[in-house]
Amino acid sequence: MQKRKLGKTNLEVSAIGLGCMGMSFGYGPPQDAQEMVSVIRAAVEHGVTFFDTAEVYGPFINEQLVGEALAPFRGQVVIATKFGFKLDPVTGKQAGLDSRPEHIKEVAEASLKRLKVDAIDLFYQHRVDPGVPIEDVAGAVKELIQEGKVKHFGLSEAGVQAIRRAHSVQPVTALQSEYSLWWREPEAEIMPALEELGIGFVPFSPLGKGYLTGKIDENTTFDSTDFRNTVPRFAPEARQANRALVDLLNNIAQRKNATSAQIALAWLLAQKPWIVPIPGTTKLHRLQENVAAATVALSEADLLDIERAASQITVQGARYSEAAQRMINR
């Protein structure tokens, strides 16, 4: 597996990481923990050194899973986790945002225990909290870095001004936000700012929450606990309307002797050398497919063909419900 550096920092990770959320949260019931341990360890064997989790995935059980799975590989892998949500003490469900400095430090202590590490490699603010100045958030993480409990500071789904303000207090190593061939908004303002500031970019949902693999159509049904049921872009009529994007990927894939998912990931890798996508999966054969995308080389002509065809396609449907959208790009 090729390696990449996130921005101007010395944080070197595999060119493709592994998003672990779906193993415990979001896409239906939690998967069997021991099976998921096997998938995570298989990822290490395939050269993946970058793993993404968060306290709210579960909550807590995803961090515990990642901690157990990666315990034999301490020092060989990079684990990213996140803070910033308030959790209901009774139900454990998200109950708003909370990035108060004292809360950030409490979350860090709990995550260290669950992950079984002495320091968190990359600690993201999960969503910008309008109730707490971003400078205070960056300052709290800076203190954790000075104490040796955190190595790198990250932001997730933050807007340009929040990124700049945070970066002025504690250098931001990476921004994690959605980016793929069917969500290209970061290209307008976010990516130029990241390039200017020397910040790496970690796209989540690089396969469009599974849609860009070509395995989902308007007749696909999701488990009742799958959050895609609430996403306008996954309404049956939107899935049907967006089929042109999958057809485009499939056409390129046939030409390159690859899969649609591999082309979608290879396209991301070709955009900037400091981009590291984190596709998630619960299946070993999909893990192997995703990892192999790092070996798919897209020529300038391929990229031009994709750009030309994609420019003719208007993706239908919002990427989040209105409630979820309100927490983004502050």
pLDDT in tens, 160-217: 999 999 999 999 999 999 999 999 999 999 999 999 999 999 999 999 999 999 999 9
Would 302 be classed as within a structural domain?
no
Catalytic site includes residue 179: no
Selecting among 27, 57, 124, 179, the annotated active-site residue is 57
Residue 180 inside a domain? The answer is yes
CATH number at residue 139: 3.20.20.100
- Give backbone dihedrals phi and psi of 200, rounded to 5 degrees, phi first: -75, 160
| Domain count of the fold of the chain | 1
At residue 99, does pLDDT exceed 90?
Answer: yes
- What does the pLDDT read at residue 3? 97
Residue-range definition of the domain harbouring residue 203: 3-210+264-296
Stronger pLDDT, 68 or 7, i.e. the higher one? 68
Q: What is the mean pLDDT of the chain?
A: 96
Query: Is residue 287 in some structural domain?
Result: yes
**More confident site: 324 or 255:** 255
